[in-house]
Amino acid sequence: MLKRLTTSQSPFRPSPLRLFFSYIVLGFWSIVVLFPLYWLLVTAFKSPIDVSSGPKYIPWVDFTPSLYAWNEIVVSTGVTFVTRPYSNTLIVGLVSSLLALIIGTCAAYALTRFEYRPKPAVIGMFILCIIGGLIVMAAGVPPIIAIGSAVILFIVLANTIGKRFKGTMNNGDITFWLISQRMLPTVAVIIPIYVLYQQLSLLDTRTALIITYTTVSLPLVIWFMRDYIANIPLELEESAFIDGASRYLVLWRIILPLAVPGLIATFLIVLVFNWNEYVLALFLTRAESQTMPLLIAAQNATRGPQWWNISLLVLMMIAPLIFLAILLERYIAKGLLVGAVKG
Amino acid sequence: MTPTQSGGSGGVIYAEQDMSFRARLSRSLERSSPNVLLLPAIVLVLFLSIFPLIVSLLLSFSRFQFVAGGYSIRYIGFANYIKLFSGSEQRKFLGAFDAPSIIALVMGAAALTIIAIMLVQYVRSNRFSPVGLVMRLVAIAFTLALVWLCMITLSGDGLPGTLVVTLIFVFVGVSAQYLIGLGLALLVTQNIPGKRFFRVTFLLPMMITPVGIGFLFRMMMDTINGPISPIWKLLGLADFSWVDTAFGARTAVIIADTWQWTPFMFIILLAALESVPREIVEAALVDGANKWKNFRHIILPQIMPVSFTLIMIRTIEAFKIVDMPQILTRGGPGTATESMTLYAYNQWRALDLGMSAAIAYLLLIVVTFVAMVYVRILRKRVVVD
C-alpha cells in the first residue's frame, strides 16, 4: 500500500503522495496570492467602522457591504477626482505602449535585417559636442544658439575628421547599447528631463509622459521583438522583394502578421510597466496629468490612510490588467521566454 | 552611420530617367529604409537617456538651485561626492560603522575564500589573460569594499546606509523570488490537474502597481485590524508592529517585493521547464537517475541560461526599488528601508538637485558594476562551461 502511494505509474505522472504534497504547497501559495486580493475586494466595500473594528472577513456574515467608499470618492468629491487620473493612465499607458511597440519593432527589424557600421569616433565626437554645448550653455549662452552651434560643429566634424577613422561597431553593439538603457536608474536621468520639459512647457502634460514612457519601454520591446523577428525565415521576404514589394510593405504585410504572438506579449508587458509606472510620473506631473498610482499614493493623507478608499482605487486600477492577464496568460510566458533564452 | 544592406534586399532597380516625383520619393524612401526604421528609436534614446545622463553627470558636480524665473548652476567639483563618502551625508549613504562582529567576520572570510578560489581557478584555466586578470582584480577590490561595508554597518552598533539597504533588498529579494519561483514552476510542470488555474493565479501579483501592493501589505501586516491579526494575537505578538523595528520593516518590504515579482520568475521558468525536451528526461529516468540527480544534471543545465538572464533582469530592476518602501514604511524607521532611489528622490524634494544627481550616479555605478561582473565573469563560468 505504502509503495503504491510513493511510486508513480509512469515517470511523468507524480505518485499520489507526491501529488498530495504538491497540492499543499501550490494551494498555500495560491492562498498567499489570492487572499490579499480578496481582502482588497472586501475592504473596498466596507464602511470605515468595519475596517477599524478588527478584522471582518465575510460579507453579509461579518459585515454588511456598503458603497461608502464609492460614494466618497466618486459621488461626493466629483467625478473628475477619479476619472481624470484614470483617463490619464489609460491614454498614457495605451498610447506609449503602442508607440514603443511600433518604434521598437521597426528598430528590431532593422537590427536583424540590415548591417550598420557606426564609428565609435563619430559617437565620441557627438558626446563631446553635447558636453561642449552644455558647458557653453552653463556659461550663459542662450540654449538655442548653443544647441544649434553644437549640432553644426558635430556635422562638420563627423563629415571631415570622422570619416578618417577606421574602427567600427556592429549591430550587436547597437543592440546592446539600446537594451542596456534599461539599467539606467530613473533618478539618474530625471532631473535633466524635468528641466527639458520645463523649457518646452511640457511639464504636467500627457505628452511628456507619453514621450518618456515610450523611450523607457523601447529597450524591452527591442529586446523581445529582435529574437522574434530573427526567427522568421528570410525566404518569405525575398520572394516578396522579387515581386517588387517595398521594405515597408514587407514589414507590414509579412513580418508583422507572423510576429503577432510576440507583439501581443510584448505589448502586454510594456503596458503593465507603463500602467503602473510611479517614479517618472511623480517627477513630471502635478494635478493635470496625474496618473492613478500617484492618486493612490496621495491617499496616504493627513487623516490617516483610508483603507476603504484606497482599496477601491487600487481595485479600479488593477481590474483591466487582471482581466488582460487572465485572457492572455499563454502569450506572456511565451513572449518573455523568447527574449530570456537568448539574453 | 553608413548602412549596407544585406539579407537579399537590394530593392528594385528603377531606370533613372522618366521618373515621376512619386516614384523618386518612394525610391529614396526605400533606399533610406535602414535609417528610417532605426533612427526613431536611436533619437528617442539619445535625447531622453544619453543626453540627460551627461547633464546629470555635470549636475552632480554642481550646486543646482531654482531661483526666481529659472535656475542657477554653480560648479563645486567633487563636493557632493565627498559629502556622501565622508561628510555630513556619510551616515545616510554609507551608514554608521562599528567593529565587525564574529558572524560578520566569518561571513566575510567565507566571501574572501570563495573569491580566492575563483581567482585561482581563473589563473589556472585556459581563459587566462593579463587584461582579464586586471579587470578581475578591480572587480574583486570593489566587491570586497562592498562586503566590508556590509560587515561593519550590519554588526554591533552599526547602522546600514542607503547603499547597504539597497543591496539587501536586491540580493535577498531576488534570491527569494528566484527560489520560490523555481520551486513553484517545478511543482506545476509535473502533470497535475489544475495546471492552468495555478499558472493564471500565480501570475496575478505582477499586474498590480507597486504602490497598491505597498498599501495592500500595510493592511495585511496590521497587527490590530489586519486579516491575520488573530494569528498574531495567538502568538502573543499583538503589540508587535512590523514598521517599528529596522529588521521588521526591511522584512516587510522584501516580502511585498517578493510577492509581486515571484510571478515573473515563475512564469518564465515554467515556460523554460516545459521546453526541456522530454526525451532527455525520459532517457535519464530510464537509466535509473533519481529525482534529484535528474534535476541537478539534466534539468538545471537546460534552464541555466534562462535563469541567468532572469536573475540579471530582476537584479537590474530591483536596484530601482522605490515605491514599495515609500508606501510601506516611508523609508523608516529612520533610514532603515530607504533605498538609494528613494534617497535621491528625498534629496530632490529638499531641492538639493546636485546631491540627488550624485546619488543617482553612484547608484548607476553600482548597478553597472554588478551587471558587468555578473555578465562577464559569473555568466561565462556557469553558462559557457
**Cβ-Cβ contacts under 8 Å, B7 against chain A:** 113-114, 234, 237
Calpha distance A193→A10 (Å, rounded) = 60
A134 in B contact zone (CB under 8 Å)? yes
Q: What is the mean pLDDT of chain B?
A: 81
* pLDDT value, residue B51: 81
Which among A123-137, B79-93, B133-147 has the top mean pLDDT? B133-147
CB-based contact A116:B38 (threshold 8 Å)? yes
Q: Say what percent of chain A tops pLDDT 90.
A: 15
* pLDDT value, residue A112: 86
Provide the CATH number for the domain formed by B79-384 in this structure.
1.10.3720.10
**Which set of grid coordinates corresponds to residue B98?**
562599528
Q: Taking CB atoms and an 8 Å limit, are B209 and A53 in contact across chains?
A: no
**Cβ-Cβ contacts under 8 Å, A307 against chain B:** 215, 219
Calpha distance B187→B207 (Å, rounded) = 22
Q: Is the pLDDT of residue A343 over 50?
A: no
A62 in B contact zone (CB under 8 Å)? no
Q: Return phi, psi of residue B72, to 5°.
A: -130, 140
Q: Taking CB atoms and an 8 Å limit, are A110 and B201 in contact across chains?
A: no
pLDDT mean over B30-35: 81
* pLDDT value, residue A90: 93
Q: Return phi, psi of residue B64, to 5°.
A: -110, 130
Which among A37-41, A117-121, A188-192 has the top mean pLDDT? A37-41
A329 in B contact zone (CB under 8 Å)? yes
CB-based contact A153:A136 (threshold 8 Å)? no
Shortest Cα distance, chain B CAs vs residue A82, angstroms = 15
Residues spanned by CATH 1.10.3720.10 within chain A? 79-114+200-310+320-342
* pLDDT value, residue B369: 87
Q: Give exposure, A304-337, as e/b (b: 16+ Cβ within 10 Å).
A: eebbbbbbbbbbbbbebbbebbeebbebbbbbbb
Q: Is the pLDDT of residue A100 over 90?
A: yes
The H or E element containing residue A77 is none
Q: Does domain A79-114+200-310+320-342 have CATH number 1.10.3720.10?
A: yes
**Cell numbers 483610508 correspond to what residue?**
A306
Q: Taking CB atoms and an 8 Å limit, are A116 and B3 in contact across chains?
A: yes
Q: Is the pLDDT of residue B18 over 70?
A: no
Calpha distance B74→B134 (Å, rounded) = 37
Calpha distance A63→A47 (Å, rounded) = 9
Shortest Cα distance, chain A CAs vs residue B155, angstroms = 29
Q: Return phi, psi of residue A205, to 5°.
A: -125, 160
* pLDDT value, residue A4: 54
Of B3, B53, B286, Cβ closest to residue A114: B3
pLDDT digits (tens, 9 = 90+) for A246-287: 888 888 888 888 888 888 888 988 999 999 998 889 888 888
**Cβ-Cβ contacts under 8 Å, A215 against chain B:** 44-45, 47-49
* pLDDT value, residue B69: 65
pLDDT mean over B308-312: 84
* pLDDT value, residue A215: 92
* pLDDT value, residue B2: 43
In a mutational test of the A interface, the residue from B27, B38, B260, B324 whose CB has the highest number of chain A CBs within 10 Å is B38
Other C-beta atoms closer than 10 Å to the C-beta of B72 total 11
Q: Taking CB atoms and an 8 Å limit, are A191 and B6 in contact across chains?
A: no
Domain ranges of chain B: 79-384
Strand partners, B159: B96
* pLDDT value, residue A209: 92
What confidence tier does B11 reach under pLDDT thresholds 50, 70, 90? very low
Radius of gyration (C-alpha) of chain A in whole angstroms: 27
pLDDT digits (tens, 9 = 90+) for B320-358: 888 888 888 887 787 788 888 888 888 888 888 888 889
The runs of H, that is alpha helices, within chain B are 21-31, 33-45, 51-60, 79-86, 90-93, 102-124, 130-154, 162-189, 195-203, 210-220, 229-234, 246-274, 278-286, 291-293, 300-318, 323-328, 340-349, 353-372
* pLDDT value, residue B7: 40
Calpha distance A93→A91 (Å, rounded) = 6
pLDDT digits (tens, 9 = 90+) for B112-140: 898 888 888 888 887 778 888 888 888 88
Calpha distance B210→B226 (Å, rounded) = 19
**Cβ-Cβ contacts under 8 Å, B190 against chain A:** 12, 14, 18-19, 22
Q: Which residues contact B270 (CB under 8 A, 6 or more apart)?
A: A333, B184, B185, B188, B189, B199
**Cell numbers 561565462 correspond to what residue?**
B380
pLDDT mean over A223-228: 82
Question: What is the distance, to the nearest Å, from the Cα of residue A119 to the centroid of all Cα atoms in its chain?
Answer: 31
Question: What is the distance, to the nearest Å, from the Cα of residue B139 to the centroid of all Cα atoms in its chain?
Answer: 18
Q: pTM of the prediction?
A: 0.84
Angle (nearest 5°) at CA B175 between B171 and B179? 175
Q: Is A329 helix (H, G, I), strand (E, B) or coil?
A: helix
**Cβ-Cβ contacts under 8 Å, A310 against chain B:** 215
Lowest mean pLDDT among A139-148, A165-174, B12-21: B12-21
